[in-house]
Amino acid sequence: MNNKKKDLKHSLKNKTQLENDEPENIYNFITEKKLYLQEIIRNTIVSINLNKQREIFSDIDSNLSINMLNELYLITKEIHKSVNNATKKDIEITIDKLQKVIDKLSLIISGFGTKKMKDLLYIVFGPDYKVIKCDNKVIQHKYELIQKYIQPVSYKTINWKQSIVQKDTFSSIVCNKLSDATVTLEQSNTFECFDCDTSVKYIYQKINGIRVIIQNEKLKKTLVVHGIVENVPLECFSNEFIDTRIKEIQSMSFNYQSNEKHIINRMVDAMSLKDILIYGNEDFYKKMMGLFIEINSVKQAKLDITIKKFLELDVISKRNMLINMLIYNKDDNIKYICYLLYDMINANNSAGIDDEKYIYEINKIKKAF
């Protein structure tokens, strides 16, 4: 087996061990692997079709990848037929076929993702990474959120540089991202989350996209999973990570002025699952200060200037501006301008129907209206 397979993909059970094993054990082993691979293939097809509807993947790319998955599924069906009364050579050939399915499936998932995080980890790193255990209960609850509510859309691996000293991969719950200091993915903690890459083009992915870090100390590799966060309101969770983060953010506001404390609490009420997974305590303070700067700018500017600038913004910037104005609910004039700007989206032809949908269909704005 070549070095690339050893480095990036997990290898199946040792062939020699299988050859010397009981026929029933060989049959059960291959059957178990085959059935799981078939499940991953089906889930990957479901995931690709869903992301095609979200306009993350094109029709051509989606159809091409699904055709490749269909071919892999046919190979797994043929594998099962060759197991009964197999010779040692037949077993070796069958294991090679299974390994090739895993390798090709890994290539497809690297570009198109799959439905479940655990399936991606199994394909990339093997069964040992299918379920990751952590002694820190809060971080373990964070991992449970990642497993259940983040759908992978692609991944990449980064080799560790020899000059980098890797720290404890579970050393903190969330690190700050809005900093002048450069945060390297290779030195980030396992389960650390980042906003989607700046190169992302599609609006749905910009709003709901996330990157998750998984460190593999044995292979000295960093796995970066690009995913989509399910938009489930935080009040619908009973999760120790979420409870801990909310308490931390609220407790840091005890020494703030009353208006700052009010805004922090409003920001907590408006947080999404993506927000609480990504941003550290200092990040929320910086977001609060950015909100005050934007509100003061709106207060000081003439209304026609504010409208003109708003209509010139891209969809994401319009969305963020409306959210900030809705969070700042103490000023009736700001509320009026916020509603007016939203109506301007409907009236202005520069924003299409889909753009309007992305601005409106978020829990924060729905609640405020």
pLDDT digit string (tens) for 273-326? Answer: 999 999 999 999 999 999 999 999 999 999 999 999 998 998 889 989 999 999
Please give the structure tokens belonging to residue 356. Answer: 């309007």
Q: 204 with 267, same domain?
A: no
Strand segments (E) across the chain: 150-159, 193-195, 209-216, 221-229
The structure tokens listed for 269 are 């009420």
Does position 136 have pLDDT exceeding 60, yes or no? yes
> Contacts from 259-266 at CB under 8 Å and sequence distance 24+?
259/330, 260/288, 262/330, 263/288, 263/291, 263/292, 263/327, 263/328, 264/288, 266/327, 266/328, 266/329
Residue 16, pLDDT score: 46
Same-domain status, 131 and 101: no
Contact 40, 114 (CB under 8 A): yes
219 and 246: one domain? no
C-beta separation of 94 from 26 below 8 A? no
Taking alpha carbons only, the member of 279, 345, 274 closest to residue 315 is: 345
The answer to whether residues 308 and 228 belong to one domain is no
Q: What is the pTM of this model?
A: 0.87
> Is residue 98 within 8 Å of residue 12, measured between CB atoms?
yes
Q: What is the pLDDT of residue 309?
A: 93
Give the structural domain span for 53.
Answer: 3-124
Instruction: Please name the amino acid found at residue 310.
Output: F
Q: What is the dihedral of CA 124, 126, 127, 129, to 10 degrees?
A: -60
Domains identified in the chain, total number: 3
- Given a cut of 70, whether residue 353 has pLDDT beyond it is no
* Residue among 245, 322, 309 at smallest CA distance from 279: 245
Claim to verify: residue 189 and residue 264 sit in the same structural domain: no
Last-in-domain residue among 124, 156, 172: 124
End-to-end CA gap in the chain: 60
Confidence check: pLDDT of 107 > 80: yes
Tell me which residue of 80, 156, 70, 63 sits closest to 113, measured CA to CA: 156
- Confidence check: pLDDT of 133 > 70: yes
Quick one: pLDDT at residue 357?
64
Last residue of a domain, one of 77, 105, 124: 124
